[in-house]
Amino acid sequence: MPTLSHRIRLNPTPDQELYFRKAAGTARFVYNWALAEWNRQYQAHVEDPSRPKPSAAAIKRQFNELKYEQFPWMHEIHRDAHAQPFANLAKAFSSWWKALESGGRCKAPTFKRKGRSRDGFYIANDKLSLDGNRVRIPVLGWVDMAEVLRFPGKVLSAAVSRTADHWFISISVDVSDETYRRQRLSDGVVGVDLGVKAALTCSNGEVFDAPKPLKNALRRLKIRQRRVTRKVKGSKNREKAKMQVSRLHERITNLRNDWTHKITTKLVRENQAIGLEDLNVSGMLRNHKLARAIADIGFGEIRRQVTYKALRYASELVLYPRFAPSSKKCHVCGHVLATLSLSVREWTCPRCGDFHDRDLNAAKVIEQYVRDSLVLC
């Protein structure tokens, strides 16, 4: 059965928030302890191959034998908070190894730092219960939620996390096909060109500009970051100034996510097939002249959301080949220019004489590729 997640803001009391901080700190401590032990055992294996390679299960058993003896304060926190970090560490190393095997760029798992704006811990489904806009958390009891869970079904797990000074719970639910599937409004076919000047240019002529919240908040962000540097390290005022920066970052993220969700839902709800370019976003972000603008729009997030939402609306996502010409290819006659610099926004085809807007022409080329792909399918 398909799975959906709902992220809901919590309204904890001061005592409940204190427990959240302790549980998140415990999860961070256990993760760092396990990572240090993993690195130690791996180094011992390199020096002496007869010793076994480290594994998350073995390190977890080792930790369970000594945790209450060496760390008695863990009795105050439910065991899920200090059991899940081992699975997270195993997943982190697995992702790192896969990236290395595929030739990608990925950093090895690193230690988690205290004082980051985001913290969290895991709760298993058998320890969780819901009652309207309340959730029962082990050890803590009932905690108020800002809204009720919108997806009916079997609760699989939950994770409590912090963004700035707000706490959220993300609940994963196993839902029925009727709940998962959504009805499309129409059955169009559209090609979408992603850009910096216009965030999305569709082959039907629609153009969508991104809100660019980071660009609009840069001045305020610089002022608040400057205030942090002028405070004494370790002081209460420095923590308050850091929280102001975190709140502004949260607002920037919320504005971007709101726009991205609305625009991606519109695309999959109104079209049976959507064409996107297979962009190398990580490579584009290494261009220091375009990195901030690209990240502010969120090219990678747009593709991620269209991918999973297309499944819910039974739409087809078609990726235009990464190295195939789009902007410099005429959608009328198929002529391809030898070169076309980024500064050129309009051009005329030397073969058929048709006048093109750069982004709209690329979107129409992508649409033609989508239609050809559907015919072949």
- Which residues are the active-site residues? 193, 277, 359
**DSSP secondary structure code for residue 324 in this structure:** S
Tell me the backbone φ, ψ of residue 157, rounded to 5 degrees: -165, 175
Q: Do the Cβ atoms of 24 and 16 come closer than 8 Å?
A: no
Q: Do the Cβ atoms of 244 and 227 come closer than 8 Å?
A: yes
The Cα–Cα gap between 82 and 68 comes to: 11
288, two tokens = 């220091």
What type of residue is 218? Answer: L
The Cα–Cα gap between 26 and 6 comes to: 24
- Looking only at the bridges linking them, the beta strands covering 200-202 and 271-277 are unpaired
How far does CA 213 lie from the centroid of its chain? 17
359, two tokens = 């982004």
Q: Do the Cβ atoms of 340 and 361 come closer than 8 Å?
A: no
DSSP-assigned beta bridge partners for residue 25: none
Q: Reduced to 3 states, what is the DSSP secondary structure of residue 165?
A: coil
The Cα–Cα gap between 285 and 294 comes to: 7
**DSSP secondary structure code for residue 336 in this structure:** B
Q: Do the Cβ atoms of 366 and 325 come closer than 8 Å?
A: no
